[in-house]
Each structure stands twice: as structure tokens, then as C-alpha cells.
Structure 1
Amino acid sequence: MNTTLQQAFGNIDIYLFDQLLKGRFDSCRNVLDAGCGGGRNLLYFLQNGFEVYGVDLHEQAIQNVQHLAQQLAPQLPPDYFQVAPVEDMPFPDNTFDLVICSAVLHFARDEAHFDAMVRSLWRVLAPGGYLLARLASTIGIEDRVESLGRGRYYLPDGSERYLVDEQTLLSYTQELGGELFEPIKTTNVQNLRCMTTWCAQKL
């Protein structure tokens, strides 16, 4: 059974897996993974007939995901996967039914960079489309993080990250013209760091 799950989903983010089990994205035609790495969140989509795209800053990561796509979905052109920053993606407005952005936004340099990335994700999302983002937050560890300015914090696990709080995500959702399709959920890893899942639909 474990082998079957591994073949079907790979090392998928658990909150993306949850949405797939709920059938949330069954009607989505195309999917973008913004900050795709080697494609760990794309295995299911590549094997089930979705039009899959990805961007990443690292050329090796894009080569890896192109190789994966060639094996699992050879009909997809290699240039569906490109080296590009999230804040400046080479795709038209209102393109994708689903945009995934996992463990990327907390690498923002400052508030302006974070804002540019979020607005870029929203720009390429089609009306009615879904954004699923996982990012580090202050939620639940507000008294354990140290502000470094410009939205960046020092965390108890020794890392430095750009962190958001719940109100920031709610404000962006409203300002961008969306609504939550799942409540904001946060995983606290032994008070060392917190990872939050932001699920918004473009109206």
C-alpha cells in the first residue's frame, strides 16, 4: 500500500494531498507550481492528464522537473518549466486553474518583495482558480520570534525568514478579490517554527 501511495503522489505536501482527497481540484485543467523545485508536488498532476507548468530560480531544479515530466507526461513541452522568479513569471494574466506555492514566500527579502510575489501569483490565477500557498508565519510563536525589520524574523530553529500573521493573509485575500476556500491552518513544530497553509480562491 505504501509503495502504491508513493508511486501515485510522491513526497507531496500533506495539505495539497488533503485537497486532492477532497476532490477540490478535480475540475482544474492546468496547474502551476511556483517554486517547483524538482517537482515533488507535481507527480499526481503529471500522471493524471493535467497541463502542468513550473518555475524555479534554480536551473538544476528545472532540469530535474523537465526530466520527470518527460517520463510521466511526454506530451508536455519542456518550456512549460522555466527558470524564473515568482515575482516575474513568464505567463499571461488569468491563466491557471490552480497555483501552488509551497515553502517559497517566506524567502521574501522584505515587504515589497513579498507583495510582488503574492500579486504575481494572483495575476496568473484564472477567475475561479485556486491558490494554495504554504509559508512560515508567526502564528502560535509570536513571543518566540525576533523581528529583524522589513518583515523578516529570527526563528527559534536558528533560521531567518519573512513571516506573516493571520491578519496579513486575510487582508491580502480581501484586497485581491478572493475568499478562503479552507480556513487558515498552521502547524507548530515544537515551538521552533510554524508553517501556515493559505487557501484562497479568485472570485
Structure 2
Amino acid sequence: MSPKDSTVVEQGAFVVPDIPIKELLDAIPAHCFKRSAIRSGAYALWDFFVIGVIYKTATFLDTQIDPSIIALPHPALYPFARFALWSLYGFFTGLFATGLWVVAHECGHQAFSESKFINNTVGWILHSALGVPYHSWRITHAKHHASTGHLTQDQVFVPSTRSDLGLPPLDPKREDRLGARVTEEVKKELWEALGDSPIGAVIGSATYL
């Protein structure tokens, strides 16, 4: 295409509409704000049910991948078929496990039900099952939504510095950046940070045995 045949389109400046948050919220139907533990729980139970069905189906099909049951052109195809089967299992299970994560996520937003106790209990159970600390995530995630996209306050992008946490400057004689030398004080801080995680809860409970 020659320059003569090209078309130049003038693009006007985009003006960000100045719409108050309240006006946006008022435009959403009232029933969208109603929280129901029964409906929310049904979504979680459905995801668990489908994940169970997928697992039972995969284990059954795995038993069928056998020379005495099905004849494949080459013996090497049997392990390949099992690999393909369990790869599909992982993919489809991941889809519905993501659904569980969405329900758990909404618990952190207190959108699962009207009860804060139910929200935090279900959220903790689902998050723990998915290997994600609940309460520490809930707190930092709330800060993230309060300052989404903020260069210095958004929890997603900017980690806290030592000065932000009230810690003294790094002392190379006592510790290093890679953690090869860690003082007991730093170990205590690390344990307090990990104590809310599922693995931390398991290790912590084992210390009482």
C-alpha cells in the first residue's frame, strides 16, 4: 500500500468520566448485593462434587489402560496414554479448583454470607486446602484494594522495606541478603510471618506432640 492509499484517522482525546462511586453503585440492582451462605455454599459443594467425579473417572480410565483390556499399536503408548489421561485430569480439576479459589476469595471480601464468622471459617478452610494462608492474605488483600495501582502503597507490587517495618539497617556481620546467616531474632520474625500458613500450622501443631 502506498502512502497515497493510506488513511489517517484523527483520534480525539479520551476524557475520563467524573462519575461518583455512589452513582455507580446505585446503578447496580439491589439483589446483586444480597449475600447468601446457602447459595455460596452450593457453589463450593458443586465444585467439590465435580472434582470428585473427575477423579473417580480418571482412576477408572487408568485401570482400563491395560494390554488385557485395550490393545494399542505399541507398548510405549500405554504410559503415554496414562500421561495424557492425568494431564487432562489436572487441567479439568484445575478449572473447578479455581472455582473453589473464587469462593475462598469472596470469603476474604466478606461476600460469602452475612456472617463474618462463617466467611472467615469457610475462607480459612478453603484457603488451607488450596495451600494459601487466609488471614494474612485477607488483610493484605484489603490493603491492595484500598490502594489498587498505587506506586508505593499497593501491597501487590511494593514490598515493605526494613525502615517501613521499623527494623534496623542490614548488618552484614549478623545476616546477609540471601539468608545464609540468620539471627535468632530474624528467625522469630520469619516464624511469626509463616505461622498463619497451612504448613506453619502443621509444623506448629507437631511441636506439641
Assess same fold via TM > 0.5: no
Query: Per the shorter chain, which TM-score range?
Result: under 0.3
Q: Taking structure 2 as the reference length, what is the TM-score of the superposition?
A: 0.21
Larger radius of gyration: 2
Q: Taking structure 1 as the reference length, what is the TM-score of the superposition?
A: 0.21
Greater fraction of residues in strand = 1
Quick one: higher RCO (CA 8 Å, sep 6+), 1 or 2? 1
Greater fraction of residues in helix = 2
